[in-house]
Structure 1
Amino acid sequence: MSESSNRPPLSLSPGQWSFTRWKTIGQLEALDVHHPLFKATVFLQGAHLTHFVPRDEADWLFLSDTARLEPGRAIRGGIPICWPWFGDPARNAPEVRKRIHTDSAHGFARTALWKLEDVRESAHEVEISLSLDANEDFAEVWTGHAIALITFSFSIRGCQVALTTTNLGSDPLAFSQALHSYFPTSDISRSRVLGLGSSNYIDTLRNWEYFSQEGPVYFEGETDRIYESGEPLTIITPAGSRKLKSVGSDSTVVWNPGPDKAARLSDFPDYAWKNMLCVETANATGDYRVLYEGQSHTLGVLIGRS
């Protein structure tokens, strides 16, 4: 796609924006927000939020020190958008899997170029909306026609992400998805997630068997679990706490690669597993969604203060 096609239409002229600017970071085009109350960075590739920094605070998101900002390459950190399938295609429900024609995990949205739809600004908030038309351009990897619209809302209170899928085809559309959110911590061994107690979960590291969570989720090496819960959560780290409130979700993924997998991951330092955790708002495994012609579903998360 040419550089001019990455730019917004005339009605969204950057001259009308007070706090938002186009910026090339690495090899990718981004919207860089410098509001008096916060900063944020959203890349057009993947509709990928990599930074949200309230005034006088550290970044609320984790981004790998070795993330590579290149066309066609997923960014390691921030909030990757896994859509229109989550995880290994083979581990998805048959209705989702039959549409997928690749072995690649997590869908194509996180490396696709999204279209800027709108930027709205006020003295207290900035809202950015982008869209992805999943049509015949993606026929080699996926069968379907849908549009994904994502809206980021930033304020001093927090960050809200809402991903709305609309089925533009005539056949029922089954899909899975996740907002693959990375959060920072100074010490993973002193971090935990509250709000999943008494939930059942699939442990992908133990033959995909079901278990029941008792109390907080702690991290003792590699962790990869899909919880059957969309309840509000609290992430506790040595630096403080963060609240997550989801909509349109009855599944939550909790992930940390641990030392062995971290050494095998691309664009990820060997030590970085100690300084991050993922708590992902999802529609995964049995929580996949089906839309009939013209129907829409919104998956969202509000990341806020405790």
Structure 2
Amino acid sequence: MSITATRQSVAIKPGQWSFTRWTTVGQLEAVEVHHPSFKARLFLQGAHLTQFAPRDEANWLWVSEDAIFKPGQAIRGGIPICWPWFGVPGRNPPEVRRRILTGASHGFARTALWKLEDVRETSVEVEISLSLHANQDFADAWNGSALCLATYTFTADSLQIALTTTNLGDSPLALTQALHTYLPTSDIRHTHIEGLEGSVFIDTLENWSDFTQHGPVLFNGQTDRIYESGQPLAVITPATERSLQSVGSDSTVVWNPGPTKAAQLSDFPDAGWQRMLCVETANALSDYRVLNEGQSHTIGVMIGRL
């Protein structure tokens, strides 16, 4: 699978869009796509996608019924962008950790205001690009200079995300990151993931110890694992079968809060853990990336039908 920008489509200025329009949800501004073949909703805060639904289908993404839509508050669900670090700072490699100036997890991109760069529409797809210039505005949280470009491509059969980081500084830049994808299920106990068999994973709930995956990934409660794999995956739920194909990634995070953790989370229903799972395309732990001056790296995922 190749994740690339669509060159055949034509950039259209606001007011001339055929399928895309501005909207406000709560206190946040977003763009919505109403194409004959699909719908989507993408927020400027966090470049955060919360909806993708082919015609006559339910949302392919899970969003908490208690999600909060206000400035500075990460939206619970959809696809948050964890950047320029993933997880708690202390668990990141030293090259990444030395640039982090805060104790906050998952970086600042998911609550930052991104800039709408481009909307390209054709009869069969819509592509939307947003950018975040990580400069002195974020100097209290991170020591670095980079440009992050998020490009979303929607069709009747798939959702594609490409996240490209370019180092604008004059020294090597190390980062970790993840596309923190929330997927819905009608029953987590009858849901499994195929494609990680034989992979080594770190179980954060078992003292960050290493294990090897035998058979498909099953869910029996709280799950928090980082797999050393970027292989294609199949997520099988009682109602749906989805494929996830990643690029620029050799690590995959699988997460479900389980009942105890769910009850402790803000804007998360106590029983919500039974209806969702996270399968995250990542550059995490030893899969961190280092960019020299002017160098770029793209991480991406395509979600489709099996």
RMSD: 0.7
2:80 partner amino acid:
P
Q: Which residue of 1 aligns with 2:95?
A: 95
What stretches of structure 1 move > 4 A for 4+ residues in a row? none
Q: 1:130-141 maps to which residues of 2 (within 5 A)?
A: 130-141=130-141
CA apart distance, 1:13:
3.3
Is 2:58 the partner of 1:58?
yes
Identity %: 69
1:207 partner amino acid:
N
Is 2:203 the partner of 1:203?
yes
Q: Which residue of 1 aligns with 2:79?
A: 79
Q: Which residue of 2 aligns with 1:173?
A: 173
Q: 1:107-186 maps to which residues of 2 (within 5 A)?
A: 107-186=107-186
Q: Distance in 1 between matches of 2:75 and 2:82?
A: 12
Q: Distance in 2 between matches of 1:20 and 1:211?
A: 46
Q: Distance in 2 between matches of 1:29 and 1:238?
A: 34
Q: What secondary structure does 1:68 align onto?
A: coil
Q: Distance in 1 between matches of 2:21 and 2:280?
A: 28
Q: Distance in 1 between matches of 2:34 and 2:66?
A: 24
Q: Which residue of 2 aligns with 1:227?
A: 227
Q: Which residue of 1 aligns with 2:14?
A: 14
Unaligned runs of 5+ residues in structure 1 are 1-10
Q: Distance in 2 between matches of 1:211 and 1:48?
A: 32
Q: What secondary structure does 2:150 align onto?
A: strand
Q: Distance in 1 between matches of 2:136 and 2:68?
A: 28
CA apart distance, 1:12:
5.2
Asked whether the 8 Å contact 2:12–2:121 carries over to 1, the reply is no
1:187-220 superposed Cα distances (whole Å, 9 cap, x missing partner): 0000000000000000000000000000100001
Unaligned runs of 5+ residues in structure 2 are 1-10
1:117-143 superposed Cα distances (whole Å, 9 cap, x missing partner): 000001000000000000011010100
2:140 partner amino acid:
E
Q: Which residue of 2 aligns with 1:32?
A: 32
CA apart distance, 1:14:
2.1
TM-score in terms of structure 1 length? 0.96
TM-score in terms of structure 2 length? 0.96
Q: Distance in 2 between matches of 1:188 and 1:149?
A: 33
Q: Distance in 2 between matches of 1:288 and 1:14?
A: 37
Q: Distance in 1 between matches of 2:36 and 2:303?
A: 19
Q: Distance in 2 between matches of 1:94 and 1:301?
A: 27
Q: Which residue of 1 aligns with 2:267?
A: 267
1:155 partner amino acid:
T
1:26-84 superposed Cα distances (whole Å, 9 cap, x missing partner): 10000011000000000000000000000011110000000000000000000000000
Q: How many residues were matched structurally?
A: 296
1:238-272 superposed Cα distances (whole Å, 9 cap, x missing partner): 00200000000000000000000000001100000
